[in-house]
Chains A and B, each alone.
Chain A
Amino acid sequence: MDDFYRDYILDHYRNPRNFGRLDRADASAEDLNPLCGDQIRMELKLNNRGVVDDVKFSGKGCAISQASASMLTEAIKGKSLAEIAKLPKETVLENVGIGISPTRMKCAMLGLKVLKSAAIGELAAWPDES
Chain B
Amino acid sequence: MIATSAKVDRIIADFPILQRPTSRGKRLVYLDSAATSQKPQVVIDKLVEYYSQYNANIHRGVYEIAERATAEFEKARETVASFFNARTQEIIWTRNTTEAINLVSYSWGLTNLKRGDAILVTQLEHHSNLVPWQVLAEKTGAELRFIPVDDRGLHVLDNLDALLDGCKLVALSHVSNSLGTIAPLDVIIPRAHAAGGLVMVDGAQAAPNMPVDLKALDVDFYAFSAHKMCGPTGIGVLYGKRELLEAMPPFLTGGDMIRKVEYAKSTYNDLPWKFEAGTSNVADAIAFAVAVDYLKGIGMEWVRDHERQLVAYALDRLQTLESRGLAIYGPQDPDRIGDVISFNFGDVHPHDLASILDTEGVCIRAGHHCTMPLMEKMGWPATARASFYIYNTEADVEALIAGIEKAARVFKF
Contacts and interface: CB of A to CB of B under 8 A. Distances in A.
Interface stretch (B62-70, B311-319, B344-352): B344-352
A64 B359 CA distance: 16
B359 A10 contact: no
Contacts, number: 47
A36 B382 contact: yes
B349 A62 contact: yes
25 contacts: A1-B358, A2-B356, A2-B359, A4-B355, A5-B352, A14-B347, A36-B366, A36-B382, A37-B372, A37-B375, A37-B381, A37-B382, A38-B351, A39-B381, A61-B349, A61-B351, A62-B349, A62-B350, A62-B351, A62-B352, A63-B352, A63-B411, A64-B351, A101-B355, A104-B355
B352 A37 contact: no
Most buried by B among A1, A4, A37: A37
User: SS class of chain B's interface: helix, strand, loop or mixed?
Assistant: mixed
B148 interface: no
Interface of A: 1-2, 4-5, 10, 13-14, 35-39, 60-64, 101, 104, 107
Contacts of A14: 347
A14 B413 CA distance: 12
Contacts of A107: 351
A113 B351 CA distance: 19
A96 to B, nearest CB: 12
Contacts of B411: 5, 10, 63
Given A1-B359, A2-B359, A61-B381, A36 B351 contact: yes
A37 B367 CA distance: 7
Interface of B: 347-352, 355-356, 358-359, 366-368, 372, 375, 381-382, 410-412
Looking at B350, B355, B356, B381, which has the most chain A CB atoms within 10 Å of its CB?
B355
A35 B350 CA distance: 13
Contacts of A2: 356, 359, 410
Contacts of A101: 355
A62 B410 CA distance: 14
Contacts of B412: 10
A35 B367 contact: yes
Contacts of B349: 61-63
A64 B366 CA distance: 14
A66 B375 CA distance: 20
B144 to A, nearest CB: 22
Contacts of B368: 36-37
Contacts of B358: 1
A37 B376 CA distance: 11
A34 to B, nearest CB: 9
A36 B350 CA distance: 9
B113 to A, nearest CB: 29
B231 to A, nearest CB: 25
A6 to B, nearest CB: 10
Contacts of B367: 35-37
Contacts of B356: 2, 5
Nearest to B359: A1
Q: Nearest 10 A-B pairs (CB), nearest first? A: A62-B349, A62-B351, A36-B367, A63-B352, A60-B381, A62-B352, A37-B382, A5-B410, A37-B368, A36-B351
Given A1-B355, A2-B359, A62-B352, 16 more contacts: A2-B356, A5-B411, A35-B367, A36-B366, A36-B368, A36-B382, A37-B368, A37-B381, A38-B351, A39-B381, A60-B381, A61-B381, A62-B350, A63-B348, A104-B355, A107-B351
Nearest to B368: A37
Nearest to B355: A104
A87 to B, nearest CB: 24
B410 A64 contact: no
Nearest to A1: B359
Contact of B352 (A35, A60, A64): A64
A27 to B, nearest CB: 26
Contacts of A35: 367
Nearest to B349: A62
Nearest to A104: B355
A50 to B, nearest CB: 35
Nearest to A3: B410
A104 B368 CA distance: 16
A97 B285 CA distance: 45
A104 B372 CA distance: 20
Contacts of B351: 36, 38, 61-62, 64, 104, 107
